Amino acid sequence: MTDEDQLEDFKKWWQRNGRSVTTGAVIGLAAVLGLRAWWNYQERQRESASTEYEQFQSDFAQGNIESVLKRGNYLIENYSGTPYAVIAALTLAKVHVDHGELPAAKQQLQWVVDKAKEPELVHIARLRLARVIAAEGDPAAAIKLLEGVDAGAFAASYDELKGDLYAAAGDRDKARAAYHKTITELNAGAGSDLVQMKLDDLGAEG
């Protein structure tokens, strides 16, 4: 086939397929540019969240509660998909507990339980939420919150808190069972002596 024949074949092929090839190239380029823009946006979001969080930490260290509440809520509202927002919510919950504002603390902790992507932070928030609910005078609801959870590495923390809650509710038998389970899970490790003291304080079984 001569060069002229090849050129003619190409022209015919282009007439048949040129539009689809061009369209595909444009779509592919748009996808690449769109993905790059998304990455750039995500990077800017992370940088902005990091800057805001650093100031949030500084305000908290200085005891500037008004600014802590303002910046914390800003992080949660504008950077909800970042770990900074989760830590901010946990911090705000602590601030609210320190000021006796238990409903507000519950709201922040429930947000972490619902939104956090890191399982460890979800467990921390759930344990703290159970304590807040118990502090409001409803240990039964707090216990229910801890039931049926795959606690993993937090199993001892869950069972110890269940023991505390059962003890507060006056159910000594279930409290003992929870403390015994905790001691087994701790395997004579850190905290087992304290749990044993709680168990001893319940008195003899029966």
Q: How high is the pLDDT of residue 34? A: 62
Q: How high is the pLDDT of residue 45? A: 66
**Residue 81 is encoded by which pair of tokens?**
């998909």
Q: How high is the pLDDT of residue 50? A: 86
Judged against a pLDDT cut of 80, whether residue 32 lies above it is answered with no
Q: How high is the pLDDT of residue 67? A: 94
pLDDT digits over 51-61, tens only?
Answer: 888 999 999 99
Helix (H, G, I), strand (E, B) or coil at 116: coil
**Amino acid letter, residue 9:** D
- The number of beta carbons lying within 10 Å of the beta carbon of residue 6 is 10
**Residue 101 is encoded by which pair of tokens?**
């504002």
Q: Highest mean pLDDT range out of 11-15, 193-197, 201-205?
A: 193-197
CA-closest candidate to residue 77, choices 111, 47, 26: 111
Nearest 5°: the CA angle 104, 93, 81 is: 100
pLDDT digits over 139-171, tens only?
Answer: 999 999 999 999 999 999 999 999 999 999 999
Judged against a pLDDT cut of 70, whether residue 20 lies above it is answered with no
Comparison of pLDDT for 11 and 85, the residue scoring more: 85
Q: How high is the pLDDT of residue 1? A: 53
Of the ranges 33-42, 75-84, 177-186, which one carries the lowest mean pLDDT score?
Answer: 33-42
Q: How far, in Å, CA of 186 to CA of 190, rounded?
A: 7
Q: How high is the pLDDT of residue 161? A: 94
pLDDT digits over 37-80, tens only?
Answer: 545 555 666 678 888 889 999 999 999 999 999 999 999 999 88
Q: Which DSSP string do the residues of 125-137 spell out, in sequence order?
A: HHHHHHHHHHHTT
**Residue 13 is encoded by which pair of tokens?**
């092929």
**Residue 95 is encoded by which pair of tokens?**
């601030």
Cβ–Cβ under 8 Å, residues 90 and 78: no
Q: How many helices (H) and strands (E) does the chain have?
A: 9, 0
**Amino acid letter, residue 6:** Q
Identify the sign of the CA torsion 73, 77, 83, 84.
negative
pLDDT digits over 84-131, tens only?
Answer: 899 999 999 999 999 999 999 999 999 999 999 999 999 999 999 999
